[in-house]
Structure 1
Amino acid sequence: MSAHTPAPQAQQAFTAAAQAWRESRMDAAEQGFAAAALLEPGWSSAHANLGAVLRRLGKCEAAVASYRRALTVGAEDAGTLSNMGNALRDLGLLEESETAHRRAVALAPDNWGYRYNLALLLRDRRLHGEARAMMAELAATDPENAEIQWDLALADLYLGDYRTGFAGYEWRIKLARNPVRDHPGPRWTGDDPTGRTILLLAEQGFGDALQFARYVPLLAARGARVVLECLPEQAELFASLRDVAALVAKGAPPPVHDCWAPLASLPHLLGTEFHSIPAEIPYLSAPPRPNLRMVPPPGQKLAVGLVWAGKTTPRDRSWPLEQLTPLLGDPRATFYSLQLGPRAGDLKSTGLERLVRDAAPALQSFADTAHVMEHLDLIITIDTSVAHLAGALGRPVWVLLRYVSDWRWQDEPLTSPWYPTMRLFRQPDPSDFKTPVAEMAAELASLIDERH
């Protein structure tokens, strides 16, 4: 705060904004802190608090500017620096974020919150050894903190220590944002399952279910009768999974069973290590769709499915469609859009609807998409649920990865131990959308020439 006492009008606006923040009325908080900062431009706390609200509202560029104002007019403050580092991280400005976070930790080395924020940033910077060491120190200090234990597990998974990482992955159950719902009866803990009926509970997203469904045949091979709960959108597809005794839609009453386990706990319960990932591919197949036919145009040498947008939270898994135009230069390759959701409209807004055939209107389920994939020569995607589906089907799939990607893909390899038919193309920098597409275009040209 500035040396002088703020004017009463500014103080009143600040107090009202602080109350609105506590009550989660973010629009009112934004308005109040903005008024206080306007009336008292030398009041660093008004700028810093406005930055916090703006970031909460997803306005990260404005948040960074507010934090910079706070640091300009006030003393160097560790909390403001750490908060600014978080906003810079949200924007993908990782080097600037690292500078802010390291300075915050230097100013307040005993504050575990600032160290935690730095550790998360270091993970994004692919400095996994340093990030893991910092997470381990924090976990030892606060061993019951589920968020820290969860991020420590992710650090282990990034580093390929799957036995330790998947054990720590169980902390997800205690996360407030991702609780595994309670279920009556005993939970299976990995002992001999012979002769028992085990209910596997759906718990996470589509991609996780597709990835971990591979464990169902392994559990059955140990003598269990497996009942698989799944999201309704995937039920028809999962009916092709080997050794499933019964399928049940998520939330529906399950059949009689002896015990249960979350599906995503199977890598831990079955002792997965990095070099023992079960990868018997394919483990899913598409059901017949006699009315869903793809008629190749004259001269087609390669049929390619294309998906350019996935989830935007907690991290953006999308690619600007216009940046993918280098892939479309050879008419011997026919591109089919498999893009669902609002971003399907990108085809029309960019004019690429004239170059890419839109298959999405015919796709009403994962089973439909799987059927189309089995008639394509290649799938190119940034959406990871599509990547998991193509990989589980054993289809050739190229995955575009943003600079900050998930533990499943690590940071260096061009292939995936989870899916032998998968090729990975990575951003060398968070702002570089051209290099991996250029690499992909060159590979695509070679593939078309081979087919020709």
Structure 2
Amino acid sequence: MSDHGWIQAMREERYEDAWAIERDVLAARDPATRDDPALAYHQRWVWDGRAVDDREVLVRCYHGLGDTLQFARFLPVLAQRARSVTVEAPARLHALLRFPGVTLAAFDVTHPLPPSACDIEITELSAALRCTPRDVPVPYLDAAPAPLPANTIGLCWQAGDWDAERWVPPALLESIASRHRCLSLVSAPTTLPVINPEGCPFDLPATAALIAGCALVITVDTMIAHLAGALGRPTWLLLRAAPDWRWDPARRDSAWYPHTRLYAQPRAGDWQTPVAAVARDLDTFQGEDHGQPPQPVRARVLG
């Protein structure tokens, strides 16, 4: 079966079908290419298909930060079934990945940890555990909310440099930022009328605290979307017309994050339409008040 068949199965929540496709792909692979050092990390496969139960498991995080946050939901399930669990993840994520029974190790791309009794890439956990996203309650990450003004909206309009098609021109968000109290979740200065024009700190625990303090997060498809979703925050996700496998542009909801609403482009390059829909929906959005008094956001909050 094709990649298209797997994508459709995942989007339609036909997980047994998706896992069957994964098993067929795994059976067809040459075992000599497992964790191939000649390949970039994100192109490698790690799990050999054997059960994880009662084994010493090393979870490798070879994909992006967003992928790691998305699949971290399965780590507590793994910890209940494995003899031991070590997660080799970027050090900047460690403060967010503290689960009972899980040992964290820093991922050094030049010196990865040696193989364990069972190695698995974190995005392979769903298939290995036969566990669906709806099997894990959200939120599965937590952060103490930063003391933001009530009903602050977090804005993230750019993703990684590798995919400029996920970027929304900031000028399209001008009217939203002008009409609502907004916070930038981009780690760069901006001319948008936000309460932190210097940008968000390049620090994930601090960013998580800001997201936890927001009444709503409006973001493109990037790590911020997964962090907000994992924290259970209301999230409105701006998607390109042909998003990657985890989002269905024909739907408004997501099995991965029940508090997330999808706004997809109707055609490639058209950000005006989903941004206009977001602006309309903001007129009736009822935010959450964390009980913090309205106040300017200073370096003590953002630093």
Q: Same fold (TM over 0.5)?
A: yes
Looking at secondary structure, tell me which structure has more helix per residue: 1
Is 1:279 the counterpart of 2:136? The answer is yes
Identity value in percent = 30
Partner of 1:157: 10
Higher relative contact order (CA 8 A, sep 6+): 2
Give the C-alpha shift of residue 190 in structure 1: 4.3
Is 1:386 the counterpart of 2:224? The answer is yes
Is 1:232 the counterpart of 2:79? The answer is no
Output the amino acid matched with 2:181: T
Partner of 1:245: 102
Give the C-alpha shift of residue 193 in structure 1: 1.2
Partner of 1:436: 274
Structure 2 residue corresponding to 1:309, chosen from 139, 144, 158: 158
Structure 2 residue corresponding to 1:189, chosen from 49, 61, 75: 49
- Do the aligned partners of 2:148 and 2:214 also contact (CA within 8 Å) in 1? no
Instruction: Give the 3 Å change call, closer, same or farther, for CA 173–324 of structure 1 in structure 2.
Output: farther
- Do the aligned partners of 1:279 and 1:420 also contact (CA within 8 Å) in 2? no
Is 1:180 the counterpart of 2:44? The answer is yes
Give the C-alpha shift of residue 259 in structure 1: 2.4
Structure 2 residue corresponding to 1:220, chosen from 67, 74, 79: 79
Give the C-alpha shift of residue 266 in structure 1: 0.8
Instruction: Give the 3 Å change call, closer, same or farther, for CA 237–359 of structure 1 in structure 2.
Output: farther
Partner of 2:201: 363
Question: What CA deviation, in whole Å up to 9, does each residue of 1:195-235 have, x standing for no partner?
Answer: x3211111101111000111111112224421111112211
Output the amino acid matched with 1:230: A
Greater Cα offset, 439-448 or 161-170 = 161-170
Partner of 2:250: 412
Instruction: Give the 3 Å change call, closer, same or farther, for CA 294–255 of structure 1 in structure 2.
Output: farther
3-state DSSP class of the match of 1:380?
strand
**Structure 1: segments with no counterpart, 5+ residues:** 1-135, 137-148
Instruction: Give the 3 Å change call, closer, same or farther, for CA 244–381 of structure 1 in structure 2.
Output: farther
Matches of 1:329 and 1:253 in 2, distance apart?
Answer: 47
Number of corresponding residues? 276
Give the C-alpha shift of residue 383 in structure 1: 3.5
Output the amino acid matched with 2:128: L
Matches of 1:268 and 1:294 in 2, distance apart?
Answer: 39
1:254-403 equivalences under 5 Å are 254=113, 257-272=116-131, 277-286=134-143, 294=147, 296=149, 301-314=150-163, 316-330=165-179, 333-340=180-187, 344-345=188-189, 347-348=190-191, 352=192, 355-358=193-196, 361=199, 363-403=201-241
Matches of 2:242 and 2:230 in 1, distance apart?
Answer: 23
Give the C-alpha shift of residue 449 in structure 1: 8.9
Partner of 2:260: 422
Give the C-alpha shift of residue 309 in structure 1: 0.7
- Do the aligned partners of 1:398 and 1:425 also contact (CA within 8 Å) in 2? yes
- The CA RMSD measured in Å over matched residues stands at 3.1
**Structure 2: segments with no counterpart, 5+ residues:** 290-303
Matches of 2:263 and 2:100 in 1, distance apart?
Answer: 34
Output the amino acid matched with 2:106: A
Matches of 1:262 and 1:204 in 2, distance apart?
Answer: 8
- Do the aligned partners of 2:217 and 2:233 also contact (CA within 8 Å) in 1? yes
The structure whose Rg is larger is 1
Question: What CA deviation, in whole Å up to 9, does each residue of 1:115-151 have, x standing for no partner?
Answer: xxxxxxxxxxxxxxxxxxxxx4xxxxxxxxxxxx656
- Do the aligned partners of 2:216 and 2:287 also contact (CA within 8 Å) in 1? no
Instruction: Give the 3 Å change call, closer, same or farther, for CA 199–359 of structure 1 in structure 2.
Output: farther
Output the amino acid matched with 2:51: D
Matches of 1:265 and 1:153 in 2, distance apart?
Answer: 14
Matches of 1:360 and 1:393 in 2, distance apart?
Answer: 24
Give the C-alpha shift of residue 160 in structure 1: 4.2
Partner of 1:42: none
3-state DSSP class of the match of 2:43?
coil
Matches of 2:139 and 2:287 in 1, distance apart?
Answer: 27
Give the C-alpha shift of residue 336 in structure 1: 0.5
Output the amino acid matched with 2:58: L
Output the amino acid matched with 1:266: L
Partner of 1:8: none
Q: With the length of structure 1 as denominator, give the TM-score of the two structures.
A: 0.54
Output the amino acid matched with 1:335: C
Partner of 2:296: none
Matches of 2:45 and 2:155 in 1, distance apart?
Answer: 35
Question: What CA deviation, in whole Å up to 9, does each residue of 1:313-350 have, x standing for no partner?
Answer: 356211111112232343xx31010112xxx34x23xx
3-state DSSP class of the match of 1:386?
helix
Q: With the length of structure 2 as denominator, give the TM-score of the two structures.
A: 0.78
Partner of 1:207: 66
- Do the aligned partners of 1:163 and 1:272 also contact (CA within 8 Å) in 2? no
3-state DSSP class of the match of 2:86?
strand
3-state DSSP class of the match of 2:213?
coil
- Do the aligned partners of 2:79 and 2:102 also contact (CA within 8 Å) in 1? no
Give the C-alpha shift of residue 180 in structure 1: 2.5
